[in-house]
Structure 1
Amino acid sequence: MASRLQRAIKGAVLNFQRTPAEISAAASRLIAQEKQVHDQVAAQTTPTFANTIKPLAKLENANGGEAAVISFLQNVSTDKQVRDASSEAEKSLLSSRMASMMRADVYKSVKQVLDNKEELAKLDSEDQALVESMARQYRRNGLGLSNEQRAKLEEIKKRLIDLGVEFSRNTNEKDGEALFTRQELDGLPEDYFCDRPVRLHNGVKKYVVTTKYPDMVPIMQMAKSEDTRRLMLQAEETRCPENIALLQEAVKLRLEAARLMGYKTHAEFMLEVNMAKTPQNVLEFENDLRERLDVLADAEIKEIEKLKRADMEAAGQPFKGLFSWDFRYYSNLVKEHKHNVSEELVKQYFPVEQVTRGILDIYQNILRLRFDKVPDPPVWHPDVAMYEVWEADGSEFLGHIYLDLFPRPGKYGHACVNPIRNGYEKEDGTREHPVAAILANFPKPTSTAPALLTHDDVITLLHEMGHLLHHICIQTKWAHFGLDSVQHDFIECPSQLFENWGWEPSVLQKFAVHYKTGEPIPQQLVERLVAAKNEGAGLFNLRQVFFGMFDMAIHNTTDANVDIRSTYMKLREQITRFHGSSNRECCGAATFGHMMGGYDAGYYGYLWAKSFSADMYATRFESAIEDPRTGMDYRRHILHPGGSVDAAAGLEKFLGRNPNNAAFLKSIGLEQ
């Protein structure tokens, strides 16, 4: 049956049904193939693009998808043995890749090609970029160090791989849990309790609540009891205590590696290849934005404090300040009071199937694409939807996308896009097509209602779909220049651009329909929702500044023993303006996956890139939000190149000038 299905689907379909033994065998096979190619490259007596660079690039083309699949399964499989095997395979693959990238004999051959300016000049621009990128990768992996220093660096990198895999496994596997009575959950809507597990605790019936987003977020937004919100946040911030030590060790090792490479800090090393270039530029950006946002936050804090003081007075309790578990709850109350926007009312107009189709339609119209849903697809879980992506006129197949939108035990716990296979040109001139998946944790359907999304969930889906389509629309010769090669402080820009469509009334009214009646969302409700867009923008964006400043505090330091826990708690209180928990075991850094998932010294990129996305939207899209001509310009200059060109060059071509942050500041309620 599976083979017939796969023959009916356009393009080469990846196999996600793997046993632990098959995963292990695949990893071993890939490692052996990698060694064979690297040995051949190292043996070249007269290195050229054809006998050195091309074989290395073809290896990435051929093996990248298979390696990604067996690593991906740790995030999605329902079988713990498969997830464990996937984690171990990833460690082996990353260790092998790291060792290969530190081979002096291979680098010698690559460097000779780079230094042959006459041959380099004959290559096209992407091939030239490939040579330069490969040489830079080898250099940044310690080639040029002494044998002793390189051996030490290799030891550090191997340990960092182990730490990253273990951190990720802990956050995926160890959900927090809390038990509450119905009274303790006062404020939550009736559908929150539909199909919710109950448990007797000391003879009292209590509802089981996990730290998965659909359980936790409504409590933080709507539970009237401060104790309930506090205990819920505590369950989240204490569920992986061992991760603090893992991150602490990683920070120390990253600094040691940077020093071996001749840099003062890890951030200095990481930022060298980003748009920001230096830690000083990042800190100036964050501090300038913080000062501007503090002005907004001053007024927002007064509104929130007024509401909490009134609650405390009504309950006959003293006001003790604002705490981290108050942020979402009182921000939500302000929206309701000032704009009459109820999340419970709004979500009735966002059933997940209609929203998904509506968002796909947005991308179809603007980017001139077509999405065909695959019936009975060969996937890793029944909840997963699979689509073929085509040019709108059907002239060209572009790739496969997967949507895995609901939580389950052992699954990755946040929202992200996993690039699984990069596109590239095959030897016969045809293309191998890219594959990617969205992993999210939206509320699941219940016995009485379909899956309903909050407006925040809709924005998240627009964002992640932006990453997905960036990956699918990359049109490079080599897989080397796929999504993961895009400069890290630009990579969020294309996904953030499409968040804007979630605030356009004409767009929302096309796909937001009541899940019972099918009636479109009322215009007045949309107007109130849009009017509330920047409510709390100061505090919300200060929270992003905090994450970026924490990242820089632990990665732009010469102190190898910087205290992760105290730094996190201190900066959160200083920047976000809310007190933290007095419980010493609480620390959000334990589940801050970005710090071990590739965003180290890079979290600032979310706000950095947002200034570019706001500029692109205001300049090219806002006056013609569904203009496919603008969309095709966007594909050509921003999406197609992947990481093969500097992001700044594509931005300048698309905008017709250098970018600026005026539109971004205006979009969050600030004027220059």
Structure 2
Amino acid sequence: MSLRFLSIARVGSTRKQIAVAYGQKGGNQNVAILEKLVQIRHRLARLLGYSNYSDFAIEPRMPMTSRKVLEFLEEMSEQLSDLANRELTVLKELKMKEEGDAQFGMEDLLYYMKRGEQHKVDLDIGEIKRYFPVKLVISGMLKMFQDLFALRFEEIKDVEVWHDTVRLFSVWDASSSDLLGYFFLDIFSREGKYDHTCVVALQNGCMCSNGSRKVPVAVLLSQCPKEFDGNSALLRFPEVVRIFHEFSHVVHHISNRATFSRFSSLRLEGDFAEIPSLLLENWCYESISLKMMSGFYQDITKSVSTEACQSLKRRRDMFAGLKLKQEILLCLVDQIIHTSENVDIDELIKDLHPKVILGIPLLEGTSPASCFPRIAVGYDAVCYSYIWSEVFAADLFATKFKDDLLNQHAGLRFRNKVLAPGGSKGPLEIITDYLGREPSLQPFIQSRTRNAL
């Protein structure tokens, strides 16, 4: 909640108080716990023959070494510096106009980013929501995936399911009419239901000993609102993107043609698993595809306007340089503490902060390490992964799809070359083979700069 206040607090001294309180919320106790966790991880890695924990954690992933990750993060930071500096200049000018003070601190970042967005993006989020009735979003999404990947979805009626709002579909290859798998849509909220949007693999695809193929089965879970008094329930735009992202995982699971079950699930190599879904998120920001999933709730023939589509993309990319710089700082801290022993984490952040965040010092009295949960649990030594996946996804989109979003030939080739192998081939081999060259980070930098201030 404190971060929400930081984006709306107009008084600078209030923002600073909130930011300092938030930056102290974990306190020295959390930092001590984190330092102990890091020591134990290094000990584990040495027992297994590695020089540090980061090399142990990254060896089975796409970069393979911590050195490669550090080089990637440093290059990303450098490439983003020009963009981030331009963004920071805009924020400083806004602060000077509003408060008569050009001195800019971390406590000002969220507030003036929001103010900048209000100045530069003509978009009413409440109005946009009225163009995304749940049923229309789902039907448009299903049509788009069928058209792009040469698939055919058939709903199976009168089947026993665990709730009357759950729908079951079979998936067929549109050309060969081969059955590829099944998926359930369990997207409406109800009491006692798991409250996240995600995909669960119910059955992996694989070849059986008799030569037949066991087909994959998945379920998409979400918490969409239900219709009330005959009025169509509406989705906020971030919910549209989230469902589209997760359904991409469903299609990845169904398209997987690996021989063995071990390589057929959604449990792909960590840095690769999100790349197809992050690639396909781009369709949520392009006019031709977004119009397929939208329609005014009182007249669905009126899709969201081209101008609104452009504003949504511009909003996504607003202050991308500064946002990514903050993420890169976290990733660098994660890598350094997991490659070197006995690091004073607070001092490390204090030293790195102005170097990465364009000269802005760490807010005095705060200890960001006390509130970095991803480093402590779940993403230890692999916080870089999401940015890494975004970079690869941007390259795939710019190279293969940007100029023809609904090109079925490109989609079918992506399905066969990238989605079908699953874990049976190395991710870098899959992507390099599909692109016909080594991946590049330039398309990602260019995509974030294109809609810049």
* TM bin (shorter chain): 0.7 to 0.9
Per the alignment, residue 275 of structure 1 pairs with: 62
Distance 1:319 1:664, change over 3 A: closer
1:307 and 2:90 are equivalent in the alignment: no
Partner SS state of residue 669, structure 1: helix
SS state of the match for residue 626, structure 1?
coil
Aligned: 1:470 with 2:257? no
Tell me, yes or no, if the aligned pair for 2:134 and 2:234 is still in contact at 8 Å.
Answer: yes
Aligned mates of 2:161, 2:24 — CA distance in 1: 33
Contact kept? 1:407, 1:444, Cα under 8 Å: no
**Correspondence 1:482 to 2:272:** no
Aligned to 1:549: 332
Q: What is the CA-CA distance between 1:376 and the residue it aligns to? A: 8.6
Alignment partner, residue 432 of structure 2 = 652
Structure 1 residue 351, shift from structure 2 partner = 3.3
Alpha-carbon distance in 1 for matches of 2:366, 2:147: 51
Provide the rounded CA distance (Å) in 2 between the counterparts of 1:294 and 1:251. 30
Which AA in structure 2 matches 1:427? S
Match of 1:452, SS state, is coil
Alignment partner of 1:430 out of 192, 212, 221: 212
5+ residue gaps, structure 2: none
**CA distance 1:510–1:670, shift in 2 (3 Å):** closer
Q: Are residues 1:348 and 2:130 paired?
A: yes
Equivalence for 1:293: 80
Corresponding residue of 1:364: 146
Q: 1:507 aligns with which of 281, 284, 289?
A: 289
Match of 2:243 in 1: 461
Answer yes or no: is the 8 Å Cα contact 1:615–1:663 preserved in 2: yes
**CA 1:247 to 1:460, structure 2 compared with 1: closer, same or farther past 3 Å?**
farther
* Whole-Å separation in 2 of the counterparts to 1:332 and 1:446: 33
Aligned-residue offset at 1:453: 1.3
SS in 2 for 1:606: helix
Q: For residue 607 of structure 1, what is the aligned residue in structure 2?
A: 387
Secondary structure in structure 1 of the residue aligned to 2:449 = coil
Offset from partner CA, 1:455-493 (integer Å, 9 cap, x none) = x44333333332332222111121111345533222221
User: What percent identity do the matched residue pairs reach?
Assistant: 26
Q: Equivalents in 1 of 2:329, 2:227: separation in Å?
A: 34
Query: For each residue in 1:477-533, what CA deviation from the matched residue of structure 2 results, as whole angstroms up to 9, or x when unmatched?
Result: 211113455332222211111122122111112222223443211223223334455
Q: What residue in structure 1 maps to residue 317 of structure 2? A: 534
Q: Is the 8 A contact 2:23 2:366 kept in 1?
A: no
Match of 1:132 in 2: none
TM-score by length of 1: 0.57
The aligned runs of 1:586-601 (5 Å cut-off) are 587-590=370-373, 592=374, 596-597=377-378, 599-601=379-381
> What are the superposed Cα offsets for residues 599-634 of structure 1, whole Å, 9 maximum, x if unpaired?
332232222233322222222212221122211111
Counterpart for residue 631 of structure 1: 411
| Counterpart Cα distance in 1 of 2:277 and 2:19 | 30
Supply the distance in 1 between the matched residues of 2:348 and 2:446 (Cα, whole angstroms).
Answer: 32
SS of the residue 1:514 aligns to: coil
Letter aligned with residue 425 of structure 1: M
Are 2:24 and 2:366, in contact at CA under 8 Å, matched by a contact in 1? no
- State the SS of the aligned residue for 2:75: helix
Match of 1:138 in 2: none
The question of whether the paired residues in 2 share the 8 Å contact of 1:421 and 1:436 is answered with yes
User: Are the structure 2 counterparts of residues 338 and 457 from structure 1 closer, same or farther at C-alpha, using a change threshold of 3 Å?
Assistant: same
The equivalences for 1:25-424 within 5 A come to 248-312=35-99, 321-323=104-106, 326-327=109-110, 329-372=111-154, 387-392=169-174, 394-404=177-187, 411=194, 416-424=198-206
Matches of 2:138 and 2:361 in 1, distance apart? 35
Kept in 1, the 8 Å contact 2:93–2:102? The answer is no
Name the SS for the 2:182 alignment partner.
Answer: strand
**Alpha-carbon separation, structure 2, partners of 1:384 and 1:308:** 50
Distance 1:389 1:241 in 2: 53
TM-score normalised over the length of structure 2: 0.81
Alignment partners' CA distance in 2, 1:468 and 1:630? 19
After superposition, the Cα gap between the structure-2 partners of 1:521 and 1:237, relative to the gap in structure 1 and judged at 3 Å, is farther
Q: Cα–Cα, structure 1 residues 463 and 262, in superposed 2: closer, same or farther, change >3 Å? A: same
Q: Cα 1:234–1:403, aligned 2, differ >3 Å: closer, same or farther?
A: farther
RCO (CA 8 Å, sep 6+): is it higher in 1 or 2?
2
- Residues 107-160 of structure 1: CA distance to partner in whole angstroms, max 9, x if unpaired? xxxxxxxxxxxxxxxxxxxxxxxxxxxxxxxxxxxxxxxxxxxxxxxxxxxxxx
SS for the counterpart of 1:668 is helix
Kindly state the Cα deviation for residue 228 of structure 1 after the two structures are TM-superposed.
8.8
- Report the AA paired with residue 660 of structure 1: S
* Paired residue type of 1:343: I
Do the aligned residues in 2 keep the contact of 1:463 with 1:496 (CA within 8 Å)? yes
| Partners of 1:649 and 1:529 in 2: CA distance | 34
**Residue 282 (structure 1) shift:** 1.0
Residues 320 and 612 (structure 1 numbering): CA distance in 2 closer, same or farther, change over 3 Å? closer
Alpha-carbon distance in 2 for matches of 1:382, 1:587: 45
| Residues 568 and 587 in structure 1, CA contact (< 8 A), matched pair in contact too | no
* Cross-structure match for 1:523: 306
Q: 1:656 to 1:256 in 2, by over 3 A?
A: same
What's the offset of the Cα at 1:221?
A: 5.7
Displacement after TM superposition at 1:383 (Å): 7.4
What does residue 115 of structure 1 align with?
Answer: none
CA deviations 1:358-393 (Å, max 9, x no partner) are: 223221111122344566987777876654433346
AA of the residue aligned to 2:60: V
Q: How many residues align?
A: 445
Aligned-partner SS, 2:273: coil
- Which amino acid in 1 is paired with 2:377? M
CA–CA separation in structure 1 for the residues paired with 2:236 and 2:186: 15
> In the aligned structure 2, how far is the partner of 1:539 from the partner of 1:435?
41
Deviation at 1:233, TM superposition (A): 11
Q: 1-side partners of 2:415 and 2:99: how far apart? A: 53
Q: Which residue in the other structure is 1:50 paired with?
A: none
Report which stretch shifted further, 244-253 or 331-340. 244-253
User: By how many angstroms is 1:567 displaced?
Assistant: 5.7
SS of residue paired to 1:262: coil
Q: Per-residue displacement from partner, 1:144-192 (whole Å, max 9, x unpaired)? A: xxxxxxxxxxxxxxxxxxxxxxxxxxxxxxxxxx7xxxxxxxxxxxxxx
Question: Displacement of 1:230 after TM fit?
Answer: 7.7
1:398 is paired with a residue whose SS is strand
Structure 1, unpaired ranges of 5+: 1-177, 179-210
Residue 257 of structure 1 aligns with an amino acid whose one-letter code is L
- Shift of residue 247 of structure 1? 5.0
| Separation of aligned partners in 2, 1:239 and 1:303 | 32
